[in-house]
Amino acid sequence: MESGLAQLLLEHSPDPLLLLASDGSISFLNAAAEDLFGYSRAQLLGTHSSLLLAEDSREPFRGAVAALAPAAPRSRRPFTGAGRRADGTEVPVEITCSLLPDGGNGPGAAARPVALSVRAGHRQDTPAGNGPGGTAADAAAPRRRNLSSPAPAAFAEPDDALRAGVLRDPLTALPNGTLFNERLAAALRRPDPVDVLLLNLDDFKNLNDMLGRSAADEMLVEVASRLRNCVRPHDTVARLGGDEFVVLLTECLNAEAVAKRIAESLYEPLRVGGSLVRPGISMGLASRTPQTLDGAELLRQADAAMTAAKTGGKNTWLRFRQEMLGTAAAKADGRAGLRQAVELGQISVHYQPVVSPGLGAVVQFEAFARWERHGRLVPPNQFLPVAEQSGLIREIGDEVMRRACAEIRPWLAGDAGYSVAVNVSGLQFQNRDFATDVLAIVASTGVDPRQLMLELTESVFFESDLDVLRQLRQLREAGVRIAMDDFGTGYASLGRLKGLPLDKVKIDRSFVAMIKTGQEQLPFFDTMINAAHSLGLRVTAEGIETAAQASYLMDRGCDSLQGYLFAKPAPASELAGTMESALTAIDKVEAGR
């Protein structure tokens, strides 16, 4: 068998497998071994194998290895004892010790590597679990073959082992989509209840970009472990790819309780890459009904519920309802209604203050488009994508900018340092005269161009053509200031900011949300703020909801703060009350430091 295939079989085996060098140090372990013992691969490679054994099992284990017969091909010896996990708990283990072929170092067993196949729990007739005959580790580890089976997966026949490998996710050792679909189809052939939970990590791309690939993978492995611990041994947890997982519950009497348990488990913070993070999830629950046709339909329903949970604010779960499948019809209706709103001038603007801790004052208001329909405000994350898809974003953008400059002009006249910020879509730059139109709006409303700031997402800078940068430079030369919104969520690195027509970066709210108590170790904030200052850029943090977040960022030299802690967006008629609320909040933060 080729070495690449052999490596594949070892890595994807559902059994915990390890290789020991001649000195007893660990030279290889697979994902199932990481899961069983609770250590990461980086923590164990090169470490002596005695770390994984309870004190009274170490000497007997060394004796079992020493007793392997060097002259016998595939010499094996069983060992039964107690393993020790990373958290200090002990778990009964059965280990098959196998002496690998002589690699040219002589016939002595001491000079030859040893393969270990580990099973958690002694031979029992009762199922794995926390009761008699099983352990917590049994439930947490990937599904293993019956303990009476004659050979570990690493030495199984190639076809069987290869199937075990290709049906499991290489990172988490969970079943992959193919194996999940097989189990779902089998479950639907039985008359028992069947429930599917589809879940997606919120803002995972941001975390991946911020923490790095290795730490993000570490988080996915931890999420997989927590999911397994939330369900029964015969339920299936699978990874479909990326940050998307799915849970199959069979014969479950209370799927809602499982969904709640998963949400609570994943909300507990975890430490990855030196940072303490709390992964939020959006989750959809769908249950088999007499009308359910097949597994694909059940997954489609779970996906619709998950999408509704994400649209509704993230970090929550929803049970599927039939109206969730009406999204396409709702979008068509939304386009027609939005076009009518634009034509009738029904798009309004609300303003949220941006506070300077150093000055103890409101120095800017950000303008937000608002659409009131059928007596309620339509959330921007619902109607702005419709505006972009329909081409209405240009008309809405111009209207918001014109209203913002006119409505907030009296406040701007009070101090040359005050400004109003307006969000701009990359689609607006497809108009080659966009910069000229902006300057015409500023001139017609009598606002100083230096008091207007345009906020653009990272993608506008890095995915657009050179004409966008030309227009941005034209605007800056006229005095208009430019901010990069949602910094850190896409393509930008601090090194790429140099040379851009830019005045400010805004730290995205997903990063701010990681600050819970103000005692977290999140060094990337210092890096971002200090590097931006070194480039002559100002820094605003958005999404501030607690005094702890405000104080944490103030201590790191963040120039300005924005969020519900100070005030929610409100109409221009409420500007005075909004400013009073913001100043009261910043005074309280200062008093509490």
Reported as half-sphere exposure (CB side, CA atoms, 13 A), residue 512 has a value of 27
Contact predicate 135/172, CB 8 Å: no
Q: In whole angstroms, what is the distance from residue 12 CA to residue 30 CA?
A: 7
User: Percentage of the chain surpassing pLDDT 90?
Assistant: 33
CATH number, residue 253: 3.30.70.270
CATH number, residue 25: 3.30.450.20
Q: Are residues 571 and 517 in the same domain?
A: yes
pLDDT of residue 472: 92
pLDDT, mean of residues 127-148 = 31
State the amino acid at position 507 in one-letter form.
Answer: I
For the four alpha carbons of 121, 127, 130 and 132, in that order, the dihedral sign comes to negative
pLDDT, mean of residues 314-338 = 70
pLDDT of residue 102: 55
Label residue 132 by pLDDT band (50, 70, 90). very low
pLDDT, mean of residues 358-368 = 95
In a 3-state reduction of DSSP, which class is residue 148? coil
Residue 78 lies in a domain: yes
pLDDT of residue 484: 92
pLDDT, mean of residues 392-408 = 92
Between CA 205 and CA 592, with CA 530 as vertex, the angle to 5 degrees is: 90
Residue 345 lies in a domain: no
How far is Cα of residue 352 from the mean position of the Cα atoms in its chain? 28
Q: Are residues 151 and 296 in the same domain?
A: no
pLDDT, mean of residues 51-62 = 88
Contact predicate 399/454, CB 8 Å: no
**Average pLDDT, whole number, for the chain?**
80
Label residue 468 by pLDDT band (50, 70, 90). confident
Q: In whole angstroms, what is the distance from residue 524 CA to residue 522 CA?
A: 6
**Better-predicted residue by pLDDT, 2 or 573:** 573
Q: 116, 143, 166 — which closes off a domain? A: 166
Where in the sequence is the domain holding 400, given as residue range(s)? 352-369+391-592
Residue 468 lies in a domain: yes
Which residues pair with residue 528 across a beta bridge?
Answer: none
Residue 332 lies in a domain: no
pLDDT of residue 27: 80
Q: 320, 340, 360 — which closes off a domain? A: 320
Residue 138: both structure tokens together:
């049994």
Residues, the chain:
593
Q: Are residues 197 and 152 in the same domain?
A: no
pLDDT of residue 314: 65
For residue range 237-246, what is the model confidence (pLDDT) as tens digits?
Answer: 999 888 889 9
pLDDT, mean of residues 514-526 = 89
- Say if residue 301's pLDDT is above 70: yes
User: Percentage of the chain surpassing pLDDT 70?
Assistant: 80
Range scoring the smallest mean pLDDT among 8-12, 112-116, 581-585: 8-12
pLDDT, mean of residues 381-400 = 84
pLDDT of residue 75: 66
Domains identified in the chain, total number: 3
Label residue 480 by pLDDT band (50, 70, 90). very high
Q: Are residues 235 and 192 in the same domain?
A: yes
pLDDT of residue 111: 55
Which among 522, 527, 528, 525 is positioned nearest to 504, based on CA atoms? 528
For residue range 278-289, what is the model confidence (pLDDT) as tens digits?
Answer: 777 889 999 988
Q: Are residues 55 and 159 in the same domain?
A: yes
Reported as half-sphere exposure (CB side, CA atoms, 13 A), residue 473 has a value of 7
Q: Are residues 191 and 224 in the same domain?
A: yes
Residue 334 lies in a domain: no
State the amino acid at position 256 in one-letter form.
Answer: E
pLDDT of residue 326: 59
**Better-predicted residue by pLDDT, 184 or 385:** 184
Helices (H) and strands (E) in the chain, counts: 23, 22
Residue 381 lies in a domain: no
Q: Are residues 186 and 306 in the same domain?
A: yes
Q: 133, 166, 199 — which closes off a domain? A: 166
Distances (CA, A) of 158 to 2, 161, 504: 11, 5, 58
For residue range 249-273, what is the model confidence (pLDDT) as tens digits?
Answer: 998 888 999 998 998 888 788 777 6
Residue 147 lies in a domain: yes
Residue 364: both structure tokens together:
């800017």
Q: Are residues 219 and 245 in the same domain?
A: yes
For residue range 4-20, what is the model confidence (pLDDT) as tens digits?
Answer: 445 556 666 777 888 88
Residues near 501 by beta carbon (within 8 Å), at least 6 away in sequence: 469, 472, 473, 475, 476, 482
Burial of 94 (0-12, 13-18, 19+ CB in 10 A): middle
pLDDT of residue 247: 96
Q: Are residues 94 and 192 in the same domain?
A: no
CATH number, residue 429: 3.20.20.450
Label residue 421 by pLDDT band (50, 70, 90). very high
Residue 383 lies in a domain: no
pLDDT of residue 499: 78
- Say if residue 107's pLDDT is above 50: no
Q: Are residues 414 and 280 in the same domain?
A: no
pLDDT, mean of residues 427-449 = 91
Q: Are residues 553 and 586 in the same domain?
A: yes
Q: Are residues 283 and 397 in the same domain?
A: no
